[in-house]
Structure 1
């Protein structure tokens, strides 16, 4: 497979301070792009990752916490001020937890970070023309999404008892639903399952599979972070069809995930997300002049969701 010439390309990766994101950044940096932007929470790990990427190509470290939408907006504003145009966006960052908590803006932490923060970030990048329909948008998901359902009646677990697993699968499904929505709007989108990967993320935030008894088995059967990054690297660097779900550098049929393929669900999630972000930020940045939708819906839409 012929790789693209990256010499004039700018790549942005969220959550690139560790694990899959870091290995994705390093792998792509070796292809000598014009610049790689690491959008991460502020930490020593992020600084070390940036230094490593700098040893291969130009790198820029931008502070952004997806659990705090004000930092997402601030990051986009800085990119605008630097006249940066992004050719490849990899929405990689994520959290996994058993315990209910909220983002700074009051959203359930996994939906707010894994999906809604990325939704707001991507929509702002589109609105500010930092990315256009020639760019590639890669959404990190998980096969866990096959067990998920977007519970529009109670997305934030305000009425039902909290399940970390259900919250996680819902957030990863939402990433695919949004990618498919953007694909319908003419954007180049790719959803990725990185496989079972040995990361600190997996070890710290275990469910039944990863408890003290089964973790050694998981370790033997799982991939390294570098292996988990290969599909994202493949999709960023080669020409592939948009609108598909990928694993092991090959498309995977999502016939078992009806919600991800349902256009009415895609529209419903888009409206819900617009309204949620508008409610949290008071920003009209996702109005009819800046939406990714060809038929945008204002934040005050009365459509039932």
Structure 2
């Protein structure tokens, strides 16, 4: 679901790939106090039927996420089960994952329970196909290579993805558009989103792009801010622009995990609060 072993945060404009057990290529060591964040695309293991996959994910793997990473600095985990997941290049599961620091993440991976948790993901996911991308700063420039996808942090602001109101969007390229044209239009659209929507309350926007799909996590202070923005002239103009090159597949507000997840849902995994600082010893 969420645990490609991203052992470093990265900087720079080029999107960097993180696969299980490996840091992104070319990544520099992370500062211990710097948060880690990535977007995961999980493809179901061959031979695992969808009902079993969904049951295992909802009743075993997500609770294990609360139990193990939840004790080692996992700050936010949002899980999406797309409609028609596993078809036409769509993953079966998407996650937004944020840790408080790389140091806590490494500490978890060094424990027996952390290693067991990491290994357990391959009971669900195809190791060769599933991958994570660390969002990079959005410059508006269209890269020349994006075969495995691009991930951007559109606004570059610190966001608590476990609170406020998050909406997940999934759109598919119109079939009449070539992938190159689709990607160019999408970059222009994202530049306009960054220019206009923060004035209407948007304070976080993480996106993952491929030649066929646009995945996005949008963060707002509250549901009302999102609704007002989407009904505004700015929001309506952005939706009209997107309709020229995107087919909407999913637009879902994140809900608290209640023990289950259905296709078409985005859930927020409830995590324990961080431990209180240890009081200093008396002199």
> TM-score with structure 2 length normalisation?
0.30
Give the helix-richer structure, 1 or 2.
Answer: 1
Higher relative contact order (CA 8 A, sep 6+): 2
> TM-score with structure 1 length normalisation?
0.28
